Amino acid sequence: MLRDITIGQYYPADSIIHKLDPRVKFIATLLYLISLFLFHTYIGYILATVFLVVIIKLSKVPFRFIVKGMKAIVFILLITVVFNIFLTPGKVLAQWWIFKVTQEGLIQAGRMAIRLSYLIIGSSVMTLTTTPNQLTDGLERIMNPLKKIKVPVHEIAMMMSIALRFIPILMEETDKIMKAQIARGADFESGNLIKKVKSMVPLLVPLFISAFRRANDLAMAMEARCYHGGDNRTQMKPLVYKRQDFVAYAVVLCYFAASIGMCVIGW
């Protein structure tokens, strides 16, 4: 279950999307997410779907790989859908006790489901095609102006990239601790929600201890390799815009302009 979250897991492949500048991908993802909330009718969603499918095809990431990452949010998706179906006022289609299913509710639920899943798929495509290091490099560059107001941009970026690197390791560790405790009779499955949460405590304590130990080791290894913050640091893969990046910007801006246009005419 824990291994299924694909956010933060890079899928190595040789594609145009992989080669794009992370800044382009970041801004494009942001614009795409905004555009999802601009559409009112299915015509807009068709545009969003086509755009997403084309990007996924170009990225050469297998579709089932992306879907695997969706499993983790199925629960949130379901809650949103259920709440939207029952709690949106409007024309009643069916009624049972105090629960009313309305036409508006169904439409709204469908819309939210599409938005949420596209939101996750869209950002997964970014994280699957960009190494976390590139991603944080991109963020660092985008946030660079903030350095003037003394925001520790480099440090934040470094923390993010380390966090991303350790997510799969800590996941694996959680799995291991869980299995070790199940082997000794711990029960994570049964009981109500409160009981389940309580049973997580003996899982979290060893996990935290091991995370701190890892942090300590890593800090030492980084220092041993001359890490001393962002000053006088060069980059192995400095970010330089190429022609393909400008083309990508143009494509994304066209898409965004189209979606704004559709929003204005109410599609």
Tell me if 223 contacts other proteins by CB under 8 A. yes
Q: Could you tell me the smallest distance in angstroms from the CB atom of residue 148 to other proteins?
A: 23
Distance CA 30, CA 37 (A): 12
The correct pick among 98, 183, 201, 224 for binding other proteins (CB under 8 A) is 224
Tell me if 60 contacts other proteins by CB under 8 A. no
Q: What is the C-alpha radius of gyration for the chain, rounded to an integer number of angstroms?
A: 22
Report the SS3 class of residue 96. Answer: strand
By rule CB under 8 A, what count of residues binds other proteins? 31
Q: Are 129 and 59 in contact (CB under 8 A)?
A: yes
Tell me if 164 contacts other proteins by CB under 8 A. yes
The correct pick among 1, 193, 201, 226 for binding other proteins (CB under 8 A) is 226
Q: Taking contact as CB under 8 A, which single stretch among the options 29-37, 61-69, 83-91, 158-166 is the one that binds other proteins?
A: 158-166
Distance CA 189, CA 257 (A): 49
Q: Taking contact as CB under 8 A, which single stretch among the options 56-64, 73-81, 103-111, 211-219 is the one that binds other proteins?
A: 211-219
Tell me if 232 contacts other proteins by CB under 8 A. yes
Residues 168-207 that bind other proteins (CB under 8 A): 168-169
Tell me if 153 contacts other proteins by CB under 8 A. no
Distance CA 182, CA 189 (A): 10
- CA angle, corner 145, sides to 141 and 148, nearest 5? 130
Tell me if 235 contacts other proteins by CB under 8 A. yes
Q: Taking contact as CB under 8 A, which single stretch among the options 79-87, 94-102, 194-202, 215-223 is the one that binds other proteins?
A: 215-223
Q: Could you tell me the smallest distance in angstroms from the CB atom of residue 267 to other proteins?
A: 40
Tell me if 221 contacts other proteins by CB under 8 A. yes
Helix (H) or strand (E) holding 146: none
**Helices then strands, each counted (H, E), the chain:** 11, 2
Distance CA 232, CA 224 (A): 17
Instruction: Of 177, 187, 236, give the one whose Cα is nearest residue 208.
Output: 177
Q: Taking contact as CB under 8 A, which single stretch among the options 20-28, 64-72, 74-82, 159-167 is the one that binds other proteins?
A: 159-167
Distance CA 24, CA 16 (A): 12
Q: Are 85 and 105 in contact (CB under 8 A)?
A: yes
Site residues for other proteins per CB under 8 A: 9-10, 12, 131-133, 161-162, 164-165, 168-169, 214, 217-218, 220-228, 232-238
